Structure 1
């Protein structure tokens, strides 16, 4: 890939990154988790998907003349609700926030003025938003935060058969992993890859947050039904997310 179109921070030299900073490039930081994803998916699903979406967003922005660079993924976050299954790594909030602040502070010290914390794990959503606000106040740069499937909004629904957006180890996540890293899918276990379609007990409104152990909610570790997943759906989901989020981040009024 030509150096002038490279979007990954770790593939660029310091001089090339200095040039990106001088051009007011947006730094996109994918944020994820390392946790159980049912019987059929490797534990790195959120890392794979958050990184894949972030890179596609950045490439669209660069193609449209809006400079962007993608940090390596912050690979662990808040996943206490998955721990009982095993195979899960989690942090406390203070540590998680400190890691995010260290990354954003480093971007600021490297001369960048704008950062997007692009989250790919539901359990991180509120924490990433809070940490992003603290970074903006403490470091004097512009910081936005959001979870990629929330930012994609209604763009996923026409692609999916059994759900309208991302759940967990579901049709959507499984499809995206099939497109991004197919060896991370255990296709022989797809028959067991289904569970309830919500983490909320009857009567709990969508606006009310209370984390519960997934072990209590879904014996399989899945929320949704991955049996309908395909790589073609995954590619369509990634393209839809990239298009929607690149447009949102390209809105100059967001950064005014």
Structure 2
């Protein structure tokens, strides 16, 4: 269930019997021909599908993350690391104050990694509360499935091209893009990153059959659900 489909008294009733919650972490950034909200769409959807059978509430995805390297692409939004960590901390503080004690952060964007370190620090200040940081797309079983299907996979490539991240009327190239030189890209300013990447795909095919994508998705949902089920201590 999602918090958006609940009222406050229903949440209070839930907390009488369970103390778990899920917070998806997303981003608003370029994904070549895919939606700018890919990371938010995927983190919230995998969290919602994973939590549904368990009856654990899923909060709306945090739509902005840390992505300064994409700022030359219109529509991309980046928070400062300090701002982002303060935001996540405030959310955790809010949930803790209401009685949530087991919180799963389902992350959909690599730039949000500092939130994982924050979670460890925050737990030390809140004994009796557990926070897990789960990169759903790079979790062991999910990433193994991606590699099994096609090892040439990266940002804005086929591995993020799900039916729910595509845009109507946008036709994806049928070519396989060479992988970007990551060492070179990491030292570039946003304008240089755009010049190097072009459309924004880091490398690989732009699309694969839906059967491949759904096979990955099934693994990702099951793996995320297992993290939510525990153990928590």
TM-score bracket relative to the smaller structure: 0.7 to 0.9
Cα deviation for residue 79 of structure 1 reads 0.5
Cα deviation for residue 239 of structure 1 reads 1.4
Are residues 1:77 and 2:68 paired? no
TM-score computed with the length of structure 1 as normaliser: 0.79
Choose from 21, 25, 38 the match for 1:31: 25
CA distance in 2, matches of 1:251, 1:232: 29
**Contact 2:26–2:39 (CA<8 Å) still a contact in 1?**
yes
1:4 aligned residue: none
Choose from 179, 185, 203 the match for 1:197: 179
Report the secondary structure of 2:71's partner residue.
helix
Change (3 A) 1:115 1:244: same
User: Which consecutive residues of structure 2, in runs of 5 or more, have no partner in the other structure?
Assistant: none
2:207 aligned residue: 228
Change (3 A) 1:223 1:53: same
1:20 aligned residue: 14
Cα deviation for residue 249 of structure 1 reads 2.8
TM-score computed with the length of structure 2 as normaliser: 0.86
Are residues 1:171 and 2:158 paired? yes
Counterpart mapping for 1:135-214 below 5 A: 135-140=122-127, 141-151=129-139, 152-158=142-148, 160-161=149-150, 163=152, 167-174=154-161, 176=162, 178=163, 180-182=164-166, 184=167, 186-188=169-171, 190-191=172-173, 195-198=177-180, 200-201=182-183, 210=186, 212=188, 213=190, 214=193
CA distance in 2, matches of 1:186, 1:170: 18
Residues 151-189 of structure 1, C-alpha deviation per residue, up to 9 Å, x if partnerless?
A: 23413333x3353xx621111101x2x2x254x25532x
Cα deviation for residue 229 of structure 1 reads 2.7
**Contact 1:36–1:43 (CA<8 Å) still a contact in 2?**
yes
Q: Bigger CA drift: 230-239 or 105-114?
A: 230-239
Counterpart mapping for 1:74-153 below 5 A: 74-125=62-113, 127-140=114-127, 141-151=129-139, 152-153=142-143
**Contact 1:162–1:228 (CA<8 Å) still a contact in 2?**
no
CA distance in 1, matches of 2:118, 2:135: 14
CA distance in 2, matches of 1:84, 1:44: 16
**Contact 2:20–2:102 (CA<8 Å) still a contact in 1?**
yes
**Contact 1:195–1:218 (CA<8 Å) still a contact in 2?**
no
Cα RMSD (Å)? 2.4
Cα deviation for residue 231 of structure 1 reads 3.3
CA distance in 2, matches of 1:56, 1:90: 27
Choose from 196, 200, 220 the match for 1:241: 220
